[in-house]
């Protein structure tokens, strides 16, 4: 099925936020008024001034990310099983959007992306299937302050529903229209890693798909739903890990990568980042057991996941 492009009635009347920023934001962001108007920016999609590239050394540019401890500041508490560390959306948002841009998270979970978006002065639309989780995410994000200058340009909206259903796309398009925006500036997709963690009993939950094939197809539907709304030259990012099934490595990451490129021919693969996985305490206690099992079974214990970046070609 071809990717649908959603046009909002506001067309080109869209305004992009001019200023934003919080104490959490990188100090050099506005140091010399580094916006698109003043010169080239990193990737042409951010507001990191290329002229000052030596000053934002914490923006990662290598394909191997060794992240330290989880950022637990503010309303990030890390309690939701299966959430990602806030450093992931933080890096992606700063590198691939400008202040005032719109981030879509198709699997919002505990709202990590929405919290980071608000802190960084970006708008966010989050889709989450489970009502209680979605409501908690909305509350956590609402409790995160952002500075007054950004306030008028920023919105945070939660859609409770199935990201793979057309209604989620229609609601997203309606929200863009409501806020007088035409495009999404960044899409972040952090789906369940198939059935590794069961998030609910809901049949629409991707963690309940009965086969890897069904999981991949459903994920493809999610990509088709939202990628048509992505601004040309901007990015879709997929955060995913692999799994073992019946003693075989199942490369979910590469399978979803291929499905993404198959579903939307306007996307090109830009980078594959390998990120370290930090185990929780329970897993750390079981480390010796896993080492023993790995030695006995001839396999390796997962210590990494992927962040795959796809860029939408210019029109
Ligand atoms: C890996 S978690 C995302 C965690 C999130 N990045 C965070 O930091 O909290 C995947 C989420 O997708 C949700 N989910 C599963 N199937 C879904 C679907 N069809 N539509 C929307 N959300 C879904 C699950 O309930 C779960 O919260």
Residue 131, in any domain of the structure: yes
Residue 27, in any domain of the structure: no
Report pLDDT digits (tens) over 146-162.
Answer: 775 566 579 999 999 99
On average, the pLDDT of the chain sits at: 87
Residue 60, in any domain of the structure: no
Which of 199, 208, 218, 225 to mutate to test ligand 1, by most ligand atoms within 8 A of the CB atom? 199
What single-letter DSSP state applies at residue 85?
A: P
Residue 305, in any domain of the structure: yes
| Mean pLDDT, residues 76-105 taken together | 95
Query: Which structural domain, as residue segments, surrounds residue 94?
Result: 81-312
Ligand 1 binding pocket includes 219 (Cβ within 6 Å)? no
CB 185 within 8 A of CB 45: yes
pTM of the model: 0.88
Is the per-residue pLDDT at 271 higher than 70?
A: yes
CB 233 within 8 A of CB 42: no
How far does CA 23 lie from the centroid of its chain? 22
Which of 109, 131, 238 to mutate to test ligand 1, by most ligand atoms within 8 A of the CB atom? 109
Ligand 1 binding pocket includes 133 (Cβ within 6 Å)? yes
How much is the pLDDT for 149? 54
Ligand 1 binding pocket includes 239 (Cβ within 6 Å)? no
Residue 64, in any domain of the structure: no
What pairing do the DSSP bridges indicate for beta strands 230-240 and 304-312?
antiparallel
Is the per-residue pLDDT at 23 higher than 70?
A: no
Ligand 1 binding pocket includes 83 (Cβ within 6 Å)? yes
- Domain of 253, CATH number, reads 3.40.50.150
Report pLDDT digits (tens) over 234-263.
Answer: 999 999 999 999 999 999 999 999 999 999
Ligand 1 binding pocket includes 190 (Cβ within 6 Å)? yes
Residue 280, in any domain of the structure: yes
State the total domains in the chain. Answer: 1
Give the bridge partners for 195, in sequence order. none
Report pLDDT digits (tens) over 193-231.
Answer: 999 999 999 999 999 999 999 999 999 999 999 999 999
Tokens of residue 117, six digits: 């978006």
Ligand 1 binding pocket includes 71 (Cβ within 6 Å)? no
How much is the pLDDT for 279? 67
How much is the pLDDT for 227? 98
Ligand 1 binding pocket includes 41 (Cβ within 6 Å)? no
Residue 67, in any domain of the structure: no
Residue 237, in any domain of the structure: yes
Percent of the chain with pLDDT over 90: 76
Report pLDDT digits (tens) over 46-60.
Answer: 999 999 999 999 999
Q: Which atom of ligand 1 is nearest to the CA of 130?
A: 25
DSSP H or E run through 250? strand 248-250
């Amino acid at each position: 099925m071809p990717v649908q492009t959603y046009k909002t009635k506001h067309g080109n009347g869209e305004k992009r936020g001019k200023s934003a920023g919080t104490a959490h934001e990188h100090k050099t962001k506005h140091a010399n008024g580094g916006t698109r108007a003043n010169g080239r920016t990193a990737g042409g999609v951010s507001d990191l001034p290329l002229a000052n590239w030596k000053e934002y050394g914490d923006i990662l540019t290598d394909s191997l990310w060794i992240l330290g401890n989880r950022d637990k500041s503010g309303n990030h508490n890390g309690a939701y099983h299966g959430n990602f560390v806030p450093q992931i959306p933080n890096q992606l948002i700063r590198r691939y959007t400008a202040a005032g841009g719109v981030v879509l998270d198709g699997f919002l979970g505990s709202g990590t992306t929405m919290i980071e978006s608000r802190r960084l002065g970006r708008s966010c639309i989050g889709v989450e299937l489970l009502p209680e989780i979605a409501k908690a995410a909305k509350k956590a994000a609402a409790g995160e302050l952002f500075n007054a200058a950004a306030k008028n340009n920023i919105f945070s909206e939660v859609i409770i529903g199935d990201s793979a259903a057309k209604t989620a796309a229609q609601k997203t398009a309606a929200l863009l229209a409501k806020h007088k925006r035409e495009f999404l500036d960044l899409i972040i997709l952090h789906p369940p890693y198939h059935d590794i963690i069961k998030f609910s009993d809901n049949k629409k939950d991707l963690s309940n798909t009965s086969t890897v094939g069904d999981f991949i197809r459903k994920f493809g539907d999610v990509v088709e739903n939202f990628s048509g709304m992505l601004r040309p030259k901007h990015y879709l990012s997929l955060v995913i890990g692999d799994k073992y099934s019946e003693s075989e490595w199942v490369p979910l990451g590469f399978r979803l990568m291929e499905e993404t490129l198959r579903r939307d021919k306007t996307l090109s693969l830009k980078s594959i980042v390998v990120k370290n996985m930090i185990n929780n305490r329970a897993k750390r206690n079981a480390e010796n057991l896993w080492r023993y099992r790995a030695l006995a079974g001839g396999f390796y214990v997962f210590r990494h996941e992927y962040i795959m970046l796809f860029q939408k070609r210019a029109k």
